[in-house]
A = this chain, B = another copy of it.
Amino acid sequence: MPTPLTRFKRLLFGRPLPSDRLEHERLNKKTALAVLSSDAISSVAYATDQILFVVGGAIGAAAIGYVAPISAVIVGLLLLVGISYSQTIHAYPNGGGSYTVAKENLGVGPGLVAAAALLTDYILTVAVSISSGVAAITSAYHLLVPHTVALCVASIILLTMVNLRGVRESGAVFSVPTYAFIAMMIALIGLGGYHAWLGDLPKIALETPKTDPHAMQRLGGVTGFALFYLLLRGFAEGCSAMTGTEAISNGIQAFKQPSQRNARITLGWMVGILAVFFLGVSYLAHHYGAMPLADQTVLSLLGHRIFGNSLAYYGLQYATFAVLVLAANTAFADFPRLAGILARDNYMPRQFLARGDRLAFSNGIITLGLVALLLVIVFHGDTTRLVPLYALGVFVCFTLSQAGMVVHWLRSRDRGWRWRAALNGLGAVATAIVSIVQVVTKFTEGGWIVVVIIPVIIYLLRRIHRHYEHFVREVAYTGQSPLMFLHHTVIVPVNGITKPTAGALVYATTISEDVRAVYVEVEPKTADDLLRKWNEWDIGVELTVVPSPFRSILRPLVDYVNDLIERGEADLVTIVVPEIVPRTWWGHLLHNKTSLFIRTSFLFRPNVVVTAIPYLVGRSARLRDLMAHDEFLEETAEQPVAR
């Protein structure tokens, strides 16, 4: 019979699933594209905004002139990284995550750097995608702007719950948002480009451009170097477009056979779509003069101009929200999986290894949800404040992963290893440079948080690893059979002739022949009365009275047990304590937790075991069964009583 709590849990999270359901449904290319590329493709919803925000903050509307070239450079980098990753697909048919590739080829240290960078990256994927998705909604419905944080929080809680249920339905359902977004983006870029060619749509009037308070100089005052640095910062922020590129190379096993070929083709499609969309949006922003506003994203501005206030505009906004939620959802699959791998390698607590009833890594999902919640609350769900923390980790992973591939080719000397190594090497150098650009340009904007946190995470991973290593070494048992004869004395602390005491005595006499009842006399002169009643009871267990001049129950008991062991009367002592289990929460306030205190007193004492015999107040079933309703007693009274 499921308890009410179990029933509630099932209602929320569904029935438990057996382990054999763990096998994947394999995806065809179309579905795989939808599932694995939502993170990458959805970046176009915020990447162009970030460039314009940073550059425009310093030089105003003139920034529009720089967005297309910066985007072109990023797309070039994207193509290079894309080709580089298709090598990884070739080399790691089981899926080569940055952690695995870096650890196998470069060693544990770089592997842990990759792991730490990935963990922060996944968390930021959730925070950035959700806040950007919510921005898509608030751009369409200005009334919702004050509720931004609440909307972000609700979305993350919902995602966490859905993932605790375990997202088995994946494939088909997940294709909808991605393809809806792709369709809307094609419509936007197509129609927008057509109108641009016709030149029949006016530019967007600049109302109140969102400005960067840290750099208020205008174009006139910007020197050559400062402009270069500014564009570099814009470039660094725009690189957030590339996040998620590695997803396909991690997920090869999800593809139908031939999985490597299918994965490579899908990666090509993904890079192509992302490149076109990103360039398209940046070009349209340039052409229509779309500077992001405090309450309007570039996509929303373009949609409004190109589609008008039509259904198509709202369709674009909803599709953007949906694809960004899907992108956040991929982190809910990746973070717990990586945490599980790290836990298996003893770098994270074992709790991350346990799959829940629904086959999901529950602890990983909850951890990710909580940290992401914290981030959106601290940063008020503001994408522009979250993005500087993002991408840095991603580029560190790109670099380590590709550097690992270089080593891989040098070692394996597979066919074509030279040009493959060269290609991965080129990618590694490029992304390494971008990593440095990221650190330098974003450091003061929040990037320092990531620079501080990654080493902290690495330190923690190493500490945890050391702990488990010590532990495994310590508990390993290599001796012979340890069984031996021990003289076992059982002590039952007694405070009266009650049912809980009787239950404890039954148990005590079952587990040993040497049972001693002990009364600690806290209130002076109370022992005589009890001794008299005890002797009348005549159960064959002697009652020892221990005085307690300091009114402590514990100290005399501890001394008594120590004496017993020191005098050699017992090798092993069990203290059997009746434990009152109240029916209600407030019942706990009314009964002394003596059994707990006794347990704690002996926790560090060798050869002493404390056993609590629960007595359920108001539900004496346990006791009734264990010992003594009177009819039963009368039946057994004739039999020889075992002691």
Q: Is the CB of A481 within 8 A of B524?
A: no
Q: Is the CB of A481 within 8 A of B357?
A: no
Interface string of A552-576 (1 = CB under 8 A from B): 1000000000000000000010100
Q: Is the CB of A476 within 8 A of B488?
A: no
Q: Is the CB of B499 within 8 A of A590?
A: no
Stretch among A49-57, A121-129, A600-608 lining the B interface:
A600-608
> Do A639 and B479 form a contact, CB below 8 Å, given A550-B16, A606-B621?
no
CB of A505 within 8 Å of the partner chain = yes
Tell me the minimal C-beta distance from A510 to chain B in angstroms. 5
Please pick, from B540, B549, B623, the residue contacting A481 in the complex, using a CB distance under 8 A: B540
Q: Is the CB of A572 within 8 A of B626?
A: yes
CB of A502 within 8 Å of the partner chain = yes
Please pick, from B503, B589, B609, the residue contacting A349 in the complex, using a CB distance under 8 A: B589
Q: Which residues of B contact A524 (CB under 8 A)?
A: 19
| Complex: A617 Cα to B471 Cα, angstroms | 7
Q: Is the CB of A617 within 8 A of B474?
A: yes
CB of A174 within 8 Å of the partner chain = no
| Complex: A355 Cα to B633 Cα, angstroms | 40
Q: Is the CB of A500 within 8 A of B485?
A: no
Q: Is the CB of A505 within 8 A of B479?
A: no
Given contacts A354-B551, A483-B540, A488-B511, 9 further A-B contacts (CB under 8 A): A467-B587, A467-B590, A468-B590, A475-B615, A476-B499, A481-B641, A482-B627, A483-B643, A604-B616
Q: Is the CB of A641 within 8 A of B590?
A: no
| Complex: A442 Cα to B357 Cα, angstroms | 59
| Complex: A621 Cα to B625 Cα, angstroms | 38
CB of A444 within 8 Å of the partner chain = no
Q: Which residues of B contact A356 (CB under 8 A)?
A: 551
Residues of A within 8 A of B (CB): 16-20, 349-351, 354-357, 359, 464, 467-468, 470-471, 474-477, 479-486, 488, 497-503, 505-507, 509-512, 524, 537-541, 549-552, 572, 574, 581, 587, 589-592, 603-607, 609, 611, 613-628, 630, 633, 636-637, 639-643
Q: Which residues of B contact A488 (CB under 8 A)?
A: 510-511
> Do A485 and B606 form a contact, CB below 8 Å, given A592-B351, A615-B475?
no
Closest 3 pairs (CB-CB, A-B):
A606-B622, A485-B642, A511-B511
| Complex: A551 Cα to B19 Cα, angstroms | 7
Tell me the minimal C-beta distance from A440 to chain B in angstroms. 35
Q: List 5 A-B contacts (CB under 8 A).
A: A475-B498, A477-B502, A481-B539, A485-B639, A606-B623
Q: Which residues of B contact A359 (CB under 8 A)?
A: 551
Q: Is the CB of B483 within 8 A of A505?
A: yes
Q: Which residues of B contact A607 (CB under 8 A)?
A: 622, 625-626
Q: Which residues of B contact A628 (CB under 8 A)?
A: 477, 479-480, 482
> Do A642 and B483 form a contact, CB below 8 Å, given A477-B497, A572-B626, A615-B475?
yes
Q: Which residues of B contact A604 (CB under 8 A)?
A: 581, 614, 616, 619, 622
Q: Which residues of B contact A483 (CB under 8 A)?
A: 505-506, 509, 539-541, 641-643
Q: Which residues of B contact A625 (CB under 8 A)?
A: 606-607
Please pick, from B17, B484, B497, the residue contacting A627 in the complex, using a CB distance under 8 A: B484
Tell me the minimal C-beta distance from A164 to chain B in angstroms. 15
Q: Which residues of B contact A617 (CB under 8 A)?
A: 471, 474
Q: Which residues of B contact A505 (CB under 8 A)?
A: 482-483
Residue of B nearest to A515 (CB): B483
Tell me the minimal C-beta distance from A608 to chain B in angstroms. 9
Q: Which residues of B contact A624 (CB under 8 A)?
A: 606
Q: Is the CB of A549 within 8 A of B18?
A: yes
Q: Which residues of B contact A471 (CB under 8 A)?
A: 617
Tell me the minimal C-beta distance from A569 to chain B in angstroms. 15
Please pick, from B350, B351, B550, the residue contacting A18 in the complex, using a CB distance under 8 A: B550
| Complex: A507 Cα to B620 Cα, angstroms | 29
Q: Which residues of B contact A510 (CB under 8 A)?
A: 486, 488, 572
Q: Which residues of B contact A587 (CB under 8 A)?
A: 467
Tell me the minimal C-beta distance from A631 to chain B in angstroms. 10
Q: Is the CB of A590 within 8 A of B349?
A: yes
Please pick, from B499, B512, B572, the residue contacting A477 in the complex, using a CB distance under 8 A: B499
Residue of B nearest to A640 (CB): B485
Q: Which residues of B contact A498 (CB under 8 A)?
A: 475-477
| Complex: A475 Cα to B502 Cα, angstroms | 10
Q: Which residues of B contact A621 (CB under 8 A)?
A: 606
Q: Which residues of B contact A589 (CB under 8 A)?
A: 349, 351
Q: Looking at A20, A480, A613, A637, which has the most chain B CB atoms within 10 Å of its CB?
A: A480
